[in-house]
Chains A and B, each alone.
Chain A
Amino acid sequence: MNINEITSWIVSFLILVGSLLSLLSAFGILRLPDVYTRSHAATKAATLGVICILSGAFLYFWVFQGYVSARLLLGILFVFVTAPVAGHLICRAAYRSKVPLWEKSVQDDLKKVLTKEDYQHQAEN
């Protein structure tokens, strides 16, 4: 096996895994019961899926065309850094606008703290 064959296997593996992960995260968004659990699927699986596909494309252009694309590397970095922040902000906005948790949730430590904060805020105004 020469180097081209090996890399073509690696590239196809990466792209296949990336698209499978994206598909599964779409399933997760359909199946899971509330905003918070859906954001688990959306942040994790979609992030790794996109990163796999981008690194597959990077490897392909590097080995077969001899072109090192710094933009793809930057894209990987940006997706990696911004996706968890987006998930966090959506969750936070949902909680603050009182979107309910799933009925089967067992614990909610934030509830009492947040109401206390709200009272303080009202007292200040």
Chain B
Amino acid sequence: MPFQILLNLLIAFVWMFLNNSWAANTFIAGYLIGLGLIFLLRRFIPTPFYLKKLWAILALILLFLKELILSNFAVMKLILQPKLTMKPGIIALPTELTRDWEISTLACLITLTPGTVTVDLSLEGDVLYIHAMDIQDAEEVIAQIKNTFEKAILEVSR
């Protein structure tokens, strides 16, 4: 992805040289032309077209915000109940992610989801231990996290 962005910038600068104009407008026009060229020649570049990845990153950020707001409502509800009826506990969550930044992003996302906080990570880095505020069904919590967050992070990294 960095290679494609650099290539795109290079095409934009070549466009500016060809036009002999150094305004922001020319740069934007050149950048758009470069985007089109890279899209046409995407077969010759081993990694997928980079706008796709940019879109996945944007989706991840939006997911972050959405989960933050939802988790606030969940916590509010628990705090304002007259009696504390929740069943907290620590559950193990096996993960398929391997690289360090993927795992730390997942841990941050889990901390900002409704009712879960990451407590610890196993030595091998393949199991996350999360403290859940209200365990109704541990399997269900795990499946939900796997389906939404792990998928979104995998979209970005592969």
In the complex, what residues of B have CB within 8 A of residue A27's CB? 79-80
Bound-complex Cα distance A40 to B68 (A): 12
Bound-complex Cα distance A44 to B117 (A): 10
In the complex, what residues of A have CB within 8 A of residue B91's CB? 107, 109
Least CB distance, A1 to chain B, in whole angstroms = 26
Bound-complex Cα distance A117 to B129 (A): 14
What is the interface size of chain B, counting residues whose CB is below 8 A from a CB of the partner? 34
Least CB distance, A58 to chain B, in whole angstroms = 16
Stretch of B10-18, B105-113, B149-157 that contacts chain A: B105-113
Contact assessment for A88 and B111 in the assembled complex, using a CB-CB cutoff below 8 Å? yes
Contact assessment for B117 and A41 in the assembled complex, using a CB-CB cutoff below 8 Å? no
Known: A36-B88, A102-B88, A109-B92. A44 touches B120 (CB 8 A): no
Residue of B at shortest CB range from A88?
Answer: B118
Q: Decide yes or no whether B135 CB sits under 8 A from chain A.
A: yes
Return the CB mask of B104-128 against A: 1 if under 8 Å, else 0.
Answer: 0001100110010111101100010
Least CB distance, A112 to chain B, in whole angstroms = 10
Return the CB mask of B65-92 against A: 1 if under 8 Å, else 0.
Answer: 0001101100110011000101111111
Bound-complex Cα distance A45 to B117 (A): 13
Known: A24-B76, A31-B79, A41-B75. A87 touches B111 (CB 8 A): yes
Contact assessment for B89 and A92 in the assembled complex, using a CB-CB cutoff below 8 Å? no
Contact assessment for B107 and A104 in the assembled complex, using a CB-CB cutoff below 8 Å? no
Bound-complex Cα distance A10 to B108 (A): 29
Known: A48-B68, A102-B88, A105-B87. A91 touches B75 (CB 8 A): no
Contact assessment for A84 and B89 in the assembled complex, using a CB-CB cutoff below 8 Å? no
Q: Decide yes or no whether A7 CB sits under 8 A from chain B.
A: no
Contact assessment for A28 and B135 in the assembled complex, using a CB-CB cutoff below 8 Å? no
Given contacts A40-B75, A106-B87, A113-B92, 11 further A-B contacts (CB under 8 A): A24-B79, A25-B75, A43-B112, A44-B72, A44-B112, A48-B72, A81-B108, A102-B88, A106-B89, A108-B89, A113-B122
